[in-house]
Structure formats: C-alpha cells, structure tokens
Structure 1
Amino acid sequence: MASTSEELFGVSEQRLTQLRSRRKLKDQVARMGISVGGLGVILAICLIFFYLLYEVIPLFLPASLEEKSTLKQYSVESTYFVVLEEQGQVGLSIDKKKGPVFFDAHTGESLATADLPTDSNITAFSKDAPGKRAYALGFEDGTVLVQKPVYDIEYGENSKTVNPRMDYPLGEEPLQVLDGSPITHLAYRESDSSLRIIAADNAGRLFLKDFEKTESFLSDDVTLEEVDTIQLPSPSSAVSKMLLSLDQRWLFLVEKAGKVEVLDLRKDVAEMRVDITSVGSEGSKVTVAEFLLGGWSLLLGDDQGNISQWFVTYNDHQKPYLAKVRTLTLNEGVAITAIQTEHRRKGFIAGDAEGHIGLFNTTAAREVADVKVADKPIEWIAMSPRGNGAVFNVSGDAPYNYEIDNEHPEVSFQSLWQKVWYERYDEPTYTWQSSSASNDFEPKFSLMPLTFGTIKAAFYAMLIAMPLAICGAIYTAYFMAPALRTKVKPTIELMEALPTVILGFLAGLWLAPLVEANLAGITSILVLTPLFIILAAVIWSRLPADWRTRVPDGYVPVILIPVVVFAGWLSMTLSAPIELAFFDGSMRVWLSHDMGIDFDQRNSMVVGMAMGFAVIPTIFSITEDAIFAVPKGLTQGSLALGATPWQTMVRVVMPTASPGIFSALMIGLGRAVGETMIVLMATGNTPIMDMNIFEGLRTLSANIAVEMPEAEVASTHFRILFLSALVLFVFTFLVNTTAEIVRQRLREKYGSL
C-alpha cells in the first residue's frame, strides 16, 4: 500500500496522512476564523445599534416630580407672584399688602423683607418678560415702582449661602403715571434704552407713558426722561389682565367676557385696535393668562381644563391677527388655576382646581408629566430658573417643594416628523434650527428636512450614476474587446480610490462656480452629447466597409472619445451666445426672476454630479463582474440558436446577472445615502424641503458632522443628533435587507437559466 502511495503521489502513506491532518486542521481554523469574523461583524453592528439606542432612549422618557419638603413656616397669605432664584434655595413672594418677602424655599421661613419707599397701598402688579427678574408695582396714588431681586452667593468650606436683597434699577423714587387715580391694572416692559408703562385707572381708562433711559458713565445710575403720554382706546368690556409684548408693540387686553383685544401701539390711537378675538370655547371663561418665554405668545387657561397658545401673525393681506396655535389639556372639565412658564425653555407648569400639576412643552405640543399633589385647588406655582424644582401652594395648606426631572420636553413625534407652528411663524412648517443667539430661542428639531435632503441627494446622485455605470458595465463586459477591457475596468475602479473630501473640495470651489457661470452650456451638454453620438454612429455606419474594418473589433468606442470631448467643448463655447440669445444674458437671472425658480450656487445638481462621480465606480465594478460572470455557454447557446448579440444580452445575460446588478444598485444607493464630505462641501447646507435641482440641501450625515462638535453632551440637541444617526442606520439596514430579499428571489428565478 505504501509503495502504491509513493508510486501515485510521490509520498508515503504516513506522509500523506500527515498532510491530510494538517489540511483538515487548516480548514477547521479557517472555518472558525471566518465564523468568528462574521460573528464579530454582527456583534459590532449590534453594539452600534444598541449604543445609538442607549443615547436616544432618554429623549422619550417621561418627566417626573418628587416631593422634597413642605414649607410649614410660610406665612404670606395673599400674593401677586412667587418666584425662585437660580439655586432653588430662596423664594420671593410679592405680598399684596406688604410687598416683597424673601423666604426659604425648603422651609418657608421668612428671610428678609424689602421696605417700600411709599406709604401708598399696592393695587397692581406686572412682571417683565419670562426669564427676567424685574417687576413693577402699581400703587393707589397712581405711581409705579420697578424692583429687581438680587441674590449674593457666599461659599463656605462645604456650603453655599444665598443672601437676597432688593435692587431699584430705575431709582427708589416711584414714577408718577396716573394723576392721583389708583392703578387697577398694570403692564410694563423695559429695554436697554426705553421704558414703557401702561396703566388702567378705576374708570377703565388706559394710559401709556414712555420714558427714555440714560445710563451714567461713572455709575450704574439710570436717568429717566418722560417722552410721551397717550390715552389708549378704551376696552370693549372689563379687563382682567393686561400683557405687553417684548418689543413693546402689542398690548393684549384679556377681558372677563372671554375675549382678547390686540392693540398695535405703533399706530395712531384711532387705528390701534387691530383684532378682537374670542379665545375660549362656548361657555368657557379665561381663568389664567401668562406670557410664554420670550414675551410673544399668550398662554390662556380656562375653566374647562384647556391651555391655549396664541400669538400675533399676519394673514395673506398682511393684516395682523391673533392666531390660535395649539391647545393643551391638563384635566378635562377642571378649571386651570395657575400657570408658571419656564425661564429658559418653551414650556410651562400648570395647576388646576383639583390639585393636579401638569408639565407641558408648547413646541412638542405635549404634556410631559401629570401628577396629583393635593385634593384642593393650586393657588400659585413658583418655578426655579433651571426648571428642576418648583413650589406649589395649595388652598388652605402649606406650600410643597418638588424636585423636577424634565430633561428633554421639546421632543415628540410631532416635533420630529410633523409640521410645527413655531412662534412668530406665519404657518406650520418643517424646520431644523438647533441654535440661536437669543436666550428665548425656540429649538426647531424637525428631522424631515434632513431626511428629505438625504433622499434628494441620493436620488440625484443615482439619477446620474445609474445609467452611466450600468450601461458602461454592459458594454465593457459584453461588447468590448478583452484587451481594451483590461485597461478600461481598472481605470474606472481606480476612480473609487479618490478621497471624497477631494471630490467635495473640487465640487464646492471649482464645479459649482463653473456651473453657475455656464449654466446654459451645462444644459446644452445634456442635449448635444447624445445627438453627436447618434450622428457619429450614423456617419460610421455609412462609411465604406474597408474603412470600418481597419478599426479592430471592440475598439469602436474609442472613436467616441473625441466626439464627446468636442460636444462638451462646443456646448461650453456656445454658453454665452445662448444666454444672450434666449435668456437676456443670464440663464440664472432668467430662472430666478422670470420662472420663479430659486438658484443657489452650491445646489443639488452640483451634488448629483460630484456624488454620482463617486458612486459610478462602485456600481460599475459590481455590475461588470456580474455580467462578465454569466456562463459563456448560455451566451453561445443563445447565439447558436439565432439570437442577435443584443437579444442575447437583454433576454439571457441581463436576467442571469440581475441579482448582481441589483446588489450593485443597492450598494451604490447605500454609499450615496451615507455620503458626508461631498454634500457637506458642495451644498449650502440649507435644511429645506424642495425638489428644485438648483437649490441646496442638508443630509442627516452632513448635519451630524457639522453640529456634533458644537452640541453639549447629553443635551437634547446632542441626543437628537444620535437619533439622526439611528434613523440613518435603520434606513440603511432596511434598504440592505430589502435588497438581499429581492436579490435572493432574482437568483431563484433566473438561477436555472
């Protein structure tokens, strides 16, 4: 036997057994390595998914309220307004009789009082915009005093003490607004250069008084100079509250009859009343009225448990009116008794007559928490500026101090994927705007423009890449001479090695200006190039046979190179004459002014051309391999049966290669969807929803690259960027899964050919 093995294989049986054992061991090691590698890839993908999910889940967790203490020593009986300082340790209560009283926010113990510089009784109160600490008191003698609490912090070894005191930013001397008549309602706003006070007397008349502020260069003293005093139009019925907008333009008169009158203070007195709106449902009455953060939107609570948001906008005729934006409900049928807005977000906290407390966010249009803290009406609510604590006063009981955990109230399905009517917008929109210089900014986290931009960029890239790559692959694999194929295929595949940042750089700094300056020429290329190719084919077919035979088989496409180059050169040369002849010298201006089509220099067409160039090698290479791998027996059998080469390609080769071609398209689409640098550099990064090929866009991946370095860790903005990544991940996964299912069915259908 040994001799037989040696005769047949040149090795002994023992040596052959050893070789087989080693081969078997190598096979087992390779199998295990491949399995471990595959499992590692699956594990890595799962870890990425779960990490993204881990960062995103907190966005959708509900808020919570937890009781910390009862303010048993709180002694103020009747208040206009209560607020907490930044640290949540000290509260300020505006007593209707005594004026300001500072108290411990955990025990209710009175810490200090601020003596008023007048013996007149307090008859009215008005606070500045939400987030500002200043407020104004109106007195029985017609004067107004502006006060501002100040909190000095002392740090010990292991403690922090807050020492409150009262400041008078406009002087300790009250301002005379009404001549001896008590002020029944008061509204005021202060800016860097002016002060506006509106007061109502006991006869229901309204008076506006403006002051100009001048600050001293040597101290913090402020000098006021009276500018104007105007009697405003009389309200149509009794007023329960007056509210003045942040820009000192719009005066809202909340009437006891359930209406709101809007006065435009920039107009003449006779034309000031611009709108009178019934704000409650039939039979309901407004019980609470407050400004949302920023001093633009009204929050009106009624006796049916509803809280509606209103602000002034303009109709199609540019006439201002008070628009109802949204309605939120705390406890249906139960009257709203208190509303306190947040100091730094577009949210608020509300209480009702049955002791329910609700946390709301207007942008997300949702209630983030609902807790029953008592069985009696909530009289007032004081919220800390950080939004992490609040004190609730229940009728007949001592106030309660609650800790609030409400990290991401701005997020909801509606705010992410549906149209939202943002403050001071004319209508609901899809908008992404994550930051602003203003402290009262309303974050706009709609993912729709980013998702739309991602699909739009991929669509235009595939629109350019798909026909060029597939048609090129078909010709290269099936019709081209083998010698020429060995040069063309590697050259195109080499394009894939070009870094996308270089393509984006060239697209943004070279291609975009070139397209803008020669828009007519670029458009002409799309028309003249096919015409010249067809013309060249016709001319070639009419040439004498001996001329055509001089070109080796499969090398005919080389002749088209100068034709294509000439068509491109001619188109660019004729660009200026075409624009002068048909577009008054500028096709871009013609598109913008005559056709009403917006044109941005860095637009979707530039992205499609640059990203299409990047995607072509991927689709071409996989498609070409799939077509070239079709068994030669199939094509030869088809040709032998009398089919033409084109019929063989369409009816035999293409169906057989269809799984590979479909895979190529899906991989190319995945590359286009996930592309970052090209869309980042070749577009204006404008998150808009418009299929206009001449406008820019912003994709999910580009948005993450731009904004992630600036996002505060664990903030809502930070987690929504992770949500964008999760959306992109899931979208890619679904596309790939669908592609695999379709590919397997195509393989089963055409695998028997």
Structure 2
Amino acid sequence: MKEQTTYTPKIDLNTASAKRYRRLRHFKDIFAKWGVAIGGIGVIVAILLIFLYLMYEVMPLFKSASIEKISQYSVPVVDVSGGREVDNEAEEQAKTLYLSMEEQAEIGLRVDSEGNAIFFKTHSGEILKKHTLPIPVSSKITAIAEAGPGADELALGFSNGETLVFKHEYAVSYGENNQRLIEPSIQYPYGEEPVVLSKTGDAITHIAIRDTEESLAIAGATDSNLLLNILNKEEDFLTEEITFEEEHLELPKITGDIKGLLIDPEQRWLYVLIDQAQLAILNIADREHPKINSVLDVTSGEYQLSQAKLLLGGVSLLLGDSGGNISQWFLVRDKDSEWRLERIRDFTLANNNITSIAPEHRRKGFLVADDQGRIGVYNTTAHRTLINEQISEKPISWLAVSPRGKAFLAEDQNGQMSFWSVDNEHPEVSWSVLWDEVWYENYDKPDYIWQSSASTNDFEPKMSLMPLAFGTLKAAFYAMLLATPLAICGAIYTAYFMAPAMRRKVKPVIELMEALPTVILGFLAGLWLAPFVEDHLTGIFTLLIVVPIGFLLVSFGWHQLPDNIKHRVQDGWQPLLLIPVVIVLSWLAIAMSSTMEALFFGGDMRSWLGEQGISFDQRNALVVGLAMGFAVIPTIFSITEDAIFSVPKHLSYGSLALGATPWQTLTRVVLLTASPGIFSAVMIGMGRAVGETMIVLMATGNTPIMDVNIFEGMRTLAANIAVEMPESEVGSSHYRVLFLAALVLFLFTFIVNTMAEMIRHRLRKRYSSL
C-alpha cells in the first residue's frame, strides 16, 4: 500500500506585498499614536489659551492706581496794571479762588481774588490768556461757587450783595499737521451785569449755584440772612429768545453761623453747613413754602467740618473734617416716605485737616488733600482707597482734577503748583461691587444690582455679578429638575426593558432632538410657549399632576387584564400604548384649565397669585425650565442609555439566575455598575444648561433680579455676555467685567467637571467588582 504524505503549504511573510503591508500598518500605528497625542495636547493647550486670554482681559480690573509727578512751578499770576507775569510773592493778595482744567488736561484755569481768570499751560505754568471779570466798582469778591462737578459754570458773590455768573469754555480746532489747538474763553450766559441777590446790600459770604433748562437757582448767605433767587427761563416759541423771570424766595431762619451752601441738580434741596459741625437740609421744591427738612450733626467727637462738596450727579454729599475723615451721605426714603440724610460710607486719609475735595467729572470718585501735603484718591461705589500718598511737605490748599480723571493740579500753601498724571482705569470695580450688597444712590437699602450703563454721565455703574450668577443657577436648576428624571427614566427603560427593534428606532429619534438649533427652541419658547403657558397656567400644573397619575392608573389597569390580551403585545413594545394615553391626558389637563382656574383661583390664577404677593412675568423660569429641559434631555438620555446598555450581560443574567427579579437586578446591579456614566451624563447636562445662551436670552425677559419665584424671569451670565458685549466699549470696566463673567463661567464649568470626574472614578472603582 502506497504511503500517503501530507503537504504543508509554506507561507512567505517576507514577500514584497507583505512587507509593504507591514510598513503601511506601522505607519498607521505611528500616525494614530501621534495624532491622538497631538489632538489631546491641542485640546489642553486650547483650553489653557482661553483661560490665559480671559485672565489677560480681566487682570487690569484689579491693577492698583498710581500717580506720577510731571512738573512743578509757581502759581501763574499777572500784574493787574500791565498784564505781565510777576512772581507770586509780589502778589500775595491775589489768592486762588478756583482751579480747574479742560478736557485734554493741557490748559488750566485759575480765578484769583482780584477777579482775574488766568488760563495757563498745565505742564509748565505758562500763561496763555488773562481775562478780567467785571467786578462792580468799590466791591470785591467775597464768595465763589461752581455749578457742580464737570460744570463750567461759576458764580461770584460780591461785597455789595450782587452776584455774577460766567462760564469758561474751550474751542478745539486743528491746524497744520493736524495739530490740536485749544482756544479758551470766558462767556456770560446771563449777561455781564451782576444780579442783585441781597437787596440790603450785605456782603455775600457764601454762594451756591445750580443751572437747569428751566431755571437758574442762586443761593447766598450774608452775616444775617439766607437768600435764594430763582431765574425762571421762558423761551419765545417764534423767536426762540429766552427771557428771565426773577423770583426771590423767603427761606426759613437758620440758627448758627453759615459756613457753606450747596444745591442739588434738581433744585429741590439746599444744604446749609452750620457752625462747622451741623448740616441743615432745606426742601425748596415748593417755591412758596420752603421748609427745613432736618438739622443733624455730621461730625463726631472733637472734629470740625472743614470741606463739603457734592459728588458727580449731585445726589451724594462729601463731607471732610479736621480729623482726616471723609464721609458720603445721601437722602433716603424711610418707611413713612419721608426723606432722611443717611451716612453711607466713610474714608480716611490721615489724622489731619482736610483742605480740599475735588470730585471727578465722569465717575463716582474724588480726590482729597490735607494740611500736611497728603493726597488721597477714592471711589465711593466700590468703597476703595486707590491712592494715599504724601506729595508735598507743605499744606495743599487747592486740588483740580481733569474731566477724564487722568491728571490733577495741586497748589500748596507756598504758592507752588504741581501737575500730576493719574493711572486709574477701573476704580469702580472691587470685590464688594461684584459680589456683595452695595448701597447705591437713590436706593433705600443695599442690594445686588446689575445695571451697567445709562444715558448720562451722572450714572452710577452697578455691576454686581450676583444676580447673573443667581439667574444662571436658577435657570439650570429648573431645566435639570425637568430633564434629569425624564431623561434617566427614559434611558433606563429604553436600554433595559424596551424591545431591541423598538430601541433602534427610539434612540436615534431622541438623539436627533439634540441637533435642533437652540435659537429655534428659544424662538418657539419666547413667541409660542410663553403666551401658551400664560393662557393655560392652571392647565400646565394640572398636566404635571394628571399625567403621572394617569400613567399609574393605566399601568395598573393593564396588569389587571387577562393574560391572553396582554400577551398580544410583545414584551418591550408596551410604550406604544402610552402614546395615545399621553395625548388624551394632556388634552384633558388643558381642557380642564378653565374649570380648575374657576374652581380654585376665582377664575384668574394670575390675579390670585398677585393677591398672594407672587408676581408673574410672561417669560419666566417655568418657560425656561420647559424649553431648556427639552434641550438638555437628549444629552442626558443618550449618555445614560449607552452607560446602562453597556453593562455586561453576564451580570444581569447571573443576578436573574440567582433568583433576583428584573427590577432588583436593575436597581442593585445594573444601575450601580452604570452609575459613573449616569453621573457623567447629569454633569454634562448641567454644563449644557449653565452655558446655554439663546434659550434663556429669548425666553427669560432678561431681568437681572434675584428672586426664587418660578413665575419671575432672570438673566444668566451667558445671556448677559451675548446681550452687552457688542455694545461695550473695548477696554472699559464694563467690557472687562463681561470677560470676568466669562471667566466665572469657565471656572465653574472646570471645577464642576473636575469634581464630576473625581466622583466618577470613585464610583467606577467602587462598583467595578460587581
């Protein structure tokens, strides 16, 4: 018999094609390795760059202020006879009565006691122009006052009881090589003829002025009387010529020596400083019956009142005393709707007498100087001490700040003037402004307020991030309150109980919901859902009760049916039976809305809520919760469903084989094993809700308030950035605070995700042994 042999084919692994395949696979492995590594590093670098850019924009908010001396020179004075420049010591009698600067801080104005208005270069003291004010014959200047911070209007009081109003103006033009030319001038808006204030001819010891479109108010004090003249303006309709009707008001008698006068911008209040320790407040709104509102002590201990100025806007009063203290006061309404002067904030320069206060022209800040040559720069809203430095060995008698707050002039007691530059870009921002309650002007108490801009320079910026952070968490809470149970329960049923054929159809449909643009959801929420909820408010809450109860009743009824009927529906396909149930129950709840409203709320639920002290806004947290919850559900559902479906089947089979029911297997094995993925799904959904912009932008009303009421709206950090960033001035405090809001969102997301990852790893480690 012939012996059979087996043939073993030989495989040549070193053929040219095999070598090419191995080289290609090796190249693919290296490419994939480095591609994944570079991609991962790129993501980390991109996130780091975003963080660094946000920090770059935010850090200037917390930069310290600084000052730098530019020049020093003798106070500019002129000889009355010849107009030539003379040494200050030869003109000792011509003391400074007023000091200011124009917009560019290139030209200063000094008004002296001889009636000279001297314009000079702020950098060198060189006199540019001199104007002699029309002082009445045989009279001298006894008082001077400006109309307010940033106002170019001044009033002089004379020894014969008359007053003169004038303005300093600056015409800007551009000459050759586009060089800026500034031409200063003195104007007399009410004529060069003085106005009689004291009919008895007594000298005006103190004066105050306030000009509006309707009237000019001039208050004056003599040794024996308190005077107030009102020049009411009347414009001819045809010629547009303005005529004045003079009105003399009889003011109540003030007990004590008058040391100063101030008038608020609305010409409603007259502040009278008395005996260097008290302040009288006169209500002059009623021209026929002016009255004293209150008289109160404004200093403490042995200190005496030395300086008083109105802050920008004329609402706040700044009072400086001999102990180096500066206090901010403004009028507040009490419970009886009566006005009272409230001490709001206190600042301290040093333990020396305050000699000058210079409010800023465009911000709620001010400069102060004392009799030891120390200067301080402060901001009232932020309650910040920005600068506290010694700049002179001599007492400082006058301060003048430029309109932009970037420079100031200081004149000491020896007639030396110094010009300083100021680097103080963001004084109105502090930790207390951003996160604490602040007592703003015209408010009855401290509060969290976001109101970043207004139409006037007198506006006090209110940039508290608390209402925005609160609104962000409120919107996310109501969205997660709706989305989390629905998404997780739906994912559990889809992954564990639903028939595979039905799961293959349901899951893609729900995941497709995630592709819906949020702007469409916001549009529908704002224009359709919000009015629908308002019209069927009772039905919405009825829906939240009727549908769950209806589900339980239908499920109970289904299980009571005979087996031959139940078995006609295959296991896992029962959810199809709930579709008509949901439709019928929803229709029933909405149809019952009017009946329920009439039965429990007197026919109008909104009115009933109002009677209970609960306000209602059409675009509110309920609408946001419904709309944003709809947007978050697909995210949570998809990740949760994948986590549950990925639990190894042998764990479920083993549990069932040991006698556990499907429900016990689900709660004690499947959910515990899938808990890291479920937790990640909830955290990712929360991150989506926190960072959502378009839905909350279009469906909340964008009211930055702190109210847990579900029927009130809110404004979130993301929506606020989207609304206000296009309108903010680049580099401004508002602009940088918006970047700070973005940084807060970034850090919140980073911290939450980091904590979520740590918890997820602990859950995975704990339940990996199941």
Could you tell me whether the CA contact under 8 Å between 1:241 and 1:253 is conserved in 2?
yes
Quote the residue 2:65 is aligned against: 63
Separation in structure 2 between the aligned mates of residue 184 and residue 446 of structure 1, nearest angstrom:
44
Separation in structure 1 between the aligned mates of residue 164 and residue 238 of structure 2, nearest angstrom:
24
Are 2:42 and 1:35 aligned? no
Quote the residue 2:83 is aligned against: none
Are 2:671 and 1:651 aligned? no
1:197-596 equivalences under 5 Å are 197-203=218-224, 205-215=225-235, 222-226=242-246, 228-267=247-286, 272-331=291-350, 333-592=351-610, 594-596=611-613
CA deviation after TM superposition for structure 1 residue 115, in Å:
2.8
Separation in structure 2 between the aligned mates of residue 472 and residue 144 of structure 1, nearest angstrom:
83
CA deviation after TM superposition for structure 1 residue 534, in Å:
1.0
What amino acid does structure 1 have at the position aligned with 2:326?
I
Of the candidates 165, 181, 203, which is equivalent to residue 161 of structure 1? 181
Summarize deviations over 1:55-98 as a string: whole Å, max 9, x none: 11111111111111113352374222211011212211221232
Quote the residue 2:211 is aligned against: 190
CA deviation after TM superposition for structure 1 residue 388, in Å:
1.0
Quote the residue 1:54 is aligned against: 56
Could you tell me whether the CA contact under 8 Å between 1:74 and 1:398 is conserved in 2?
no
Could you tell me whether the CA contact under 8 Å between 1:663 and 1:739 is conserved in 2?
yes
CA deviation after TM superposition for structure 1 residue 641, in Å:
0.7
Could you tell me whether the CA contact under 8 Å between 1:171 and 1:222 is conserved in 2?
no
CA deviation after TM superposition for structure 1 residue 22, in Å:
2.9
Length-normalised TM-score, structure 1: 0.96
Separation in structure 1 between the aligned mates of residue 495 and residue 255 of structure 2, nearest angstrom:
84
1:85-100 equivalences under 5 Å are 85-100=102-117
Could you tell me whether the CA contact under 8 Å between 2:284 and 2:290 is conserved in 1?
no
SS of residue in 2 equivalent to 1:497: coil
What amino acid does structure 1 have at the position aligned with 2:685?
G
Separation in structure 2 between the aligned mates of residue 317 and residue 118 of structure 1, nearest angstrom:
49
CA deviation after TM superposition for structure 1 residue 219, in Å:
7.9
Are 2:170 and 1:151 aligned? yes
Separation in structure 2 between the aligned mates of residue 746 and residue 9 of structure 1, nearest angstrom:
50
Summarize deviations over 1:334-371 as a string: whole Å, max 9, x none: 22211101111111111122212211111111011223
Separation in structure 2 between the aligned mates of residue 216 and residue 157 of structure 1, nearest angstrom:
42
Specify whether residues 5 and 626 from structure 1 end up closer, same or farther in structure 2 by C-alpha distance, changes over 3 A only.
farther
Quote the residue 2:3 is aligned against: none
Summarize deviations over 1:167-188 as a string: whole Å, max 9, x none: 0111111111111121112122
1:599-610 equivalences under 5 Å are 599-610=616-627
Summarize deviations over 1:589-613 as a string: whole Å, max 9, x none: 2112x11111000001101110000
SS of residue in 2 equivalent to 1:345: coil
Could you tell me whether the CA contact under 8 Å between 1:65 and 1:371 is conserved in 2?
no
Could you tell me whether the CA contact under 8 Å between 1:5 and 1:13 is conserved in 2?
no
Separation in structure 2 between the aligned mates of residue 617 and residue 746 of structure 1, nearest angstrom:
23
CA deviation after TM superposition for structure 1 residue 6, in Å:
9.1
Of the candidates 96, 112, 116, which is equivalent to residue 79 of structure 1? 96
CA deviation after TM superposition for structure 1 residue 629, in Å:
0.3
Specify whether residues 82 and 218 from structure 1 end up closer, same or farther in structure 2 by C-alpha distance, changes over 3 A only.
farther
Summarize deviations over 1:477-508 as a string: whole Å, max 9, x none: 11111111111111100100000000000000
Could you tell me whether the CA contact under 8 Å between 1:5 and 1:11 is conserved in 2?
no
CA deviation after TM superposition for structure 1 residue 145, in Å:
0.9
CA deviation after TM superposition for structure 1 residue 395, in Å:
1.6
Length-normalised TM-score, structure 2: 0.94
Quote the residue 1:131 is aligned against: 150
Could you tell me whether the CA contact under 8 Å between 2:276 and 2:306 is conserved in 1?
no
Summarize deviations over 1:73-126 as a string: whole Å, max 9, x none: 523742222110112122112212324332222222332123315222111112
Of the candidates 707, 721, 728, which is equivalent to residue 711 of structure 1? 728
Could you tell me whether the CA contact under 8 Å between 2:259 and 2:276 is conserved in 1?
no
Could you tell me whether the CA contact under 8 Å between 1:635 and 1:648 is conserved in 2?
yes
Could you tell me whether the CA contact under 8 Å between 2:546 and 2:585 is conserved in 1?
yes
What amino acid does structure 1 have at the position aligned with 2:529?
L
CA deviation after TM superposition for structure 1 residue 626, in Å:
0.2
Specify whether residues 239 and 646 from structure 1 end up closer, same or farther in structure 2 by C-alpha distance, changes over 3 A only.
same
1:95-114 equivalences under 5 Å are 95-110=112-127, 111-114=129-132
CA deviation after TM superposition for structure 1 residue 269, in Å:
7.6
What amino acid does structure 1 have at the position aligned with 2:198?
L
Could you tell me whether the CA contact under 8 Å between 2:221 and 2:258 is conserved in 1?
no
Summarize deviations over 1:431-460 as a string: whole Å, max 9, x none: 111111122111111111111111111111
What amino acid does structure 2 have at the position aligned with 1:190?
D
Specify every segment of 5 or more residues in structure 1 that has no aligned partner in the other structure, as ranges.
none
Separation in structure 1 between the aligned mates of residue 430 and residue 8 of structure 2, nearest angstrom:
78
Could you tell me whether the CA contact under 8 Å between 2:75 and 2:415 is conserved in 1?
no
What amino acid does structure 1 have at the position aligned with 2:729?
E
CA deviation after TM superposition for structure 1 residue 239, in Å:
1.9
Separation in structure 1 between the aligned mates of residue 564 and residue 314 of structure 2, nearest angstrom:
87
Specify whether residues 5 and 683 from structure 1 end up closer, same or farther in structure 2 by C-alpha distance, changes over 3 A only.
farther
Of the candidates 685, 699, 714, which is equivalent to residue 668 of structure 1? 685
Q: Count residues with an aligned counterpart.
A: 746
CA deviation after TM superposition for structure 1 residue 567, in Å:
1.1
Could you tell me whether the CA contact under 8 Å between 1:297 and 1:310 is conserved in 2?
yes
Specify every segment of 5 or more residues in structure 2 that has no aligned partner in the other structure, as ranges.
1-5, 78-87, 89-93
Are 2:617 and 1:615 aligned? no
CA deviation after TM superposition for structure 1 residue 579, in Å:
1.6
Separation in structure 2 between the aligned mates of residue 192 and residue 67 of structure 1, nearest angstrom:
40
Summarize deviations over 1:228-282 as a string: whole Å, max 9, x none: 3222122232221111111101111122341211111125887722222221222
Higher mean alpha-carbon deviation, 144-153 vs 464-473, is at 144-153
Specify whether residues 178 and 570 from structure 1 end up closer, same or farther in structure 2 by C-alpha distance, changes over 3 A only.
same
Specify whether residues 6 and 595 from structure 1 end up closer, same or farther in structure 2 by C-alpha distance, changes over 3 A only.
farther
Summarize deviations over 1:363-387 as a string: whole Å, max 9, x none: 1110112232112211110111111
Separation in structure 2 between the aligned mates of residue 440 and residue 250 of structure 1, nearest angstrom:
18
